[in-house]
Structure 1
Amino acid sequence: MMIDLTQTVSLSPSEVAQRLRALPVFSTLSDQELECIASAPVVHVSAGQILAQQGEKLTLFGILLEGKVRSFYQYGAKQAQTVATIEAGAVMGEYALLTRQAIPVTAEAVEDCMILSYTEEEFWGLMARCPAMRNFILGQLNERLRGAQHRDIQEEKLAALGTLTAGLMHELNNPGAAASRAASQLRANLARMHELTKAFSSEDNEKPELQCVWALQERAFATERPQCMSSLEEADREEELAEWLESNNQTNAWKLAPILASIGITTFDLECLKAEALQDGKHSLSNILEWLASMVSSMQLVGTVEESITRITGLVKAVKTYTYEGKSGQSIDLNESVHATLILLKHKIYEKQLSIKKNFGGGLPPLAVNAAGLNQIWTNLLDNAIDAAPSDGGQLTVTTGIKDSRIFVTIGDNGTGIAPEDQDKIFETFFTTKPMGVGTGLGLGIAQRIAEQAGGLISFTSAPGKTEFTVSFPVKEATK
């Protein structure tokens, strides 16, 4: 431990014993056992001081009498997520002394602390002459070893999940690309068949006789769809067409009407088709309508396939971005990272029928950070915004850009806002304003730690009708 042993506190062994007895973990020990433990100097450590550095071998053991100490993994000059926070009554340094291994974490005083400090020799003497303390220390070591083993297992599971995800995305990408090419070719083939049929039918005629038929079929093949109608307008159009079809003795009138209405066909068009069928004499109106409806339906199915493949391809790309960003020191496209998270949360946005306004800034520099998991920030902030937005008229806003030499992402909602008395506590672990079973109080705290690890900051403003969280990073650190 990097403790200044000169900063001792003037406490007699009996005073130290009294302080120990006031702590729940030592309250049941006998006076003799407390005196055995209390025969060591008490050291004062100021808040912010590093007690132990990750990777070093410790030569001191400590019992925390007062204050708080946190431990965290460290990568270079960057701090990772806090592993644990210990309070008065906890022991420190036993793992390194008993296992003869370097300490796996960095320890820092969160508050001013008083620590009962033992040298390595004194620690082994304490273990030999004080059975109660020996049992307590070994019990603490066992808990920490179990915790470390659990973390290792979880990391292995996550690594395996990442490998499986990569394989799955690769397997999905190949058939997805093939299906996309096939749908595109099918659309082209249908359009070509229409052109050939039109050409064959007009070879012996200087002027085509079924101009309305070809015009409406070309409308069926059109890339641009008719202007969207309201539900009432659409129902009125379908009813009007169905009534016309029935009055002209057409079977399946109520089945054909929705298909014909979908490409904007009106009763005027049907009158034109009827006139051409009577004039031509070789084609019945029923056959023309069935042919036209089949072509419309086929093109709609092609459109459905293309849209579905596009969504699958987008999801594959989003999962790849979400899984691999930040690994191996790669640079991150901020817009792409946020957009990938939006795709993965699209189902939740749609379920609540929220509108979303996106304003992605152009020309943003790549974000090069030493931390993985920035997408966890966007996930937590977007998830909170979705929950906060009202079901009726709810709106999300996502903005990226550069301001005051910082690259930023702002995520907002038009919900009721965060109560003033809660605004100072929202980043605290386990604090949540969501109902029981919905919120854990971990999201914003995790988001803040990841942002700080990457050299960024999270700020927010909140009032009824508008809450915005902004995550920003210095451009000079974010660019290569």
Structure 2
Amino acid sequence: MDFEDFDASPVAGARPEASPLTRLQYLIDNTPALIYCTVPSGDFKMTFVSNNAVNVLGYRPEEMMADPNFWFDHIHPDDKPRIVESLAKVFTEGQQVYEYRFRSADGEYRWMHDTLRLIRDEDGRPLEVIGALTDITDRKRMEEALKATGRKQQQLIGKLREAHEQLLQSEKMASIGQLAAGIAHEINNPVGFVNSNMGSLQGYVGTLLELIDTYADAVATHPQLAARMAPVREAADLDFLRDDVTALVRESIDGLRRVKEIVQSLKDFSHVGETEWQLADLHHGLDSTLNIVANELKYKVNVIKEYGELPRIECLASQLNQVFMNLLVNAGQAIKERGVIRIRTGVKDEWVWVEIADSGGGIAPEHLTRIFEPFFTTKPVGSGTGLGLSLSYGIVTRHGGRIDVRSQLGKGTAFTVWLPQRQPRKEQGAPDVKG
């Protein structure tokens, strides 16, 4: 049966008693799919197009058949290479299915589902290719809408997960604060009376040494007594004891002072009970944080402080101390053997800035855009959660500021925290880093 024998004029309707050809023509012209035939070579020139092409694409069948390049020329340029590359499979496999965009008469590209089937003659030679085009634009739009919904859901899940981790971090910091308060209370009492006792002991040692000197002067006037005391004095090594006991007392008092400073740093770092925005000294926060992380840095890092003149800023100091700690620990971990961490501060317009720069290995360019993502880390498994910089970014953002980063492989990384002097300052952006 040859479609060329059909009357190509539209068929308004066909009764059941109509001839088989009329009935077939009616069915083809009213099916949802556009039926077409092409030659099995060259540009697949169309030799037959069903009359419903007007309804599906807005073209009349005769204009589609008149142009030998019509099919290829109306496929979207982005989809055409994919079809051309695999079109030969029609001749090896006998059938191909494509989904591509096809330009309709109104100039709009519509998504089409196309099934191509090769027809051979009795000798097996390719005779023609039959295609069935179905408009799937609505389905594609629904798929895109579902994908967009899925992406939004994934983003929401990510935000919920980040919020959950931040809540856990906040609870952890609150626990650390309570622990610090308890430690401070428990340590301050014994340290207080030990410090007092050491002060008294220092006075007693001074008195005893003066007494010994007085006795020595008195004994010197009695040669026989002086001769008896000389071996005792030599055996006791009095000169060494005098210097050493003084040094021991002085070092013990210095050690107690260090303990008091550490306890005070814990209290300053955690700011127990802090719930409201307060004016705080960032330099004080940096120094207390350095005391906390000293053990992490002291064996391989030389910390250089280049503090400028900073005003007190309105902030939640304990949260900013958490940011400084994360940046300092990361800087220390970036330095493998020996290196330098440089801390600079300054003011620009209504903003203050804190820069923490290290001489470590630097961050790869492909990682720079991801370092603030939750759970992203370049550290070995088990060495980091990937939350430190993400939490720091969130804290600084909530303060109305931002974190800038610049890095060079093999030379180091610098993080600059920009903060407004007063809250809120959300309508302005922090200026670019200078110097």
- TM-score when normalising by structure 1: 0.51
The Cα shift of 1:408 comes to 1.9
Residues 180-222 of structure 1, C-alpha deviation per residue, up to 9 Å, x if partnerless? 222222222212221232234325779xx9xxxxxxxxxxxxx
Question: Residue 371 of structure 1 contacts residue 453 of structure 1 at CA under 8 Å; is this kept in 2?
Answer: no
Distance 1:303 1:429 in 2: 49
Identity over aligned pairs, percent: 28
The Cα shift of 1:334 comes to 0.7
Number of matched pairs? 287
SS at match of 1:373: helix
Distance 2:357 2:173 in 1: 31
Question: Residue 398 of structure 1 contacts residue 412 of structure 1 at CA under 8 Å; is this kept in 2?
Answer: yes
Distance 2:417 2:332 in 1: 17
Question: Residue 282 of structure 2 contacts residue 312 of structure 2 at CA under 8 Å; is this kept in 1?
Answer: yes
Distance 1:303 1:176 in 2: 15
Aligned match of 2:210: 195
Coordinate RMSD, CA, aligned: 3.9
Query: Is 1:298 matched with 2:245?
Result: yes
Distance 1:19 1:71 in 2: 18
Which of 387, 398, 409 is the aligned partner of 1:442? 387
Distance 2:160 2:317 in 1: 16
Amino acid at match of 1:168: I
Which of 181, 194, 198 is the aligned partner of 1:183? 198
Amino acid at match of 2:266: V
Q: Residues 380, 278 of structure 1: CA spacing in aligned structure 2 closer, same or farther, 3 A cutoff?
A: farther
Distance 2:345 2:370 in 1: 26
Structure having the higher Rg: 2
Aligned match of 1:354: 301
Which structure 2 segments of 5+ residues have no match?
A: 1-135, 426-435
Question: Residue 314 of structure 2 contacts residue 422 of structure 2 at CA under 8 Å; is this kept in 1?
Answer: no
The Cα shift of 1:292 comes to 2.7
Amino acid at match of 1:329: W
Q: How does 1:137-176 map to 2 (within 5 A)?
A: 159=174, 162-176=177-191
Q: How does 1:51-450 map to 2 (within 5 A)?
A: 64-67=149-152, 82-84=159-161, 159=174, 162-203=177-218, 281-284=227-230, 287-288=233-234, 290-324=237-271, 327-350=275-298, 352-362=299-309, 364-369=310-315, 373-391=319-337, 393-450=338-395
Larger RCO (CA within 8 A; separation ≥ 6)? 1
Distance 1:345 1:171 in 2: 22
Question: Residue 366 of structure 1 contacts residue 478 of structure 1 at CA under 8 Å; is this kept in 2?
Answer: no
Question: Residue 219 of structure 2 contacts residue 226 of structure 2 at CA under 8 Å; is this kept in 1?
Answer: no
Amino acid at match of 1:355: N
- TM-score when normalising by structure 2: 0.56
The Cα shift of 1:316 comes to 1.0
Distance 1:300 1:437 in 2: 45
Residues 457-480 of structure 1, C-alpha deviation per residue, up to 9 Å, x if partnerless? 21122233342211121234499x
Q: Residues 431, 189 of structure 1: CA spacing in aligned structure 2 closer, same or farther, 3 A cutoff?
A: same
Question: Residue 312 of structure 2 contacts residue 421 of structure 2 at CA under 8 Å; is this kept in 1?
Answer: no
Which structure 1 segments of 5+ residues have no match?
A: 1-10, 24-62, 73-80, 86-104, 106-146, 210-276
SS at match of 2:245: helix
Q: Residues 191, 465 of structure 1: CA spacing in aligned structure 2 closer, same or farther, 3 A cutoff?
A: farther
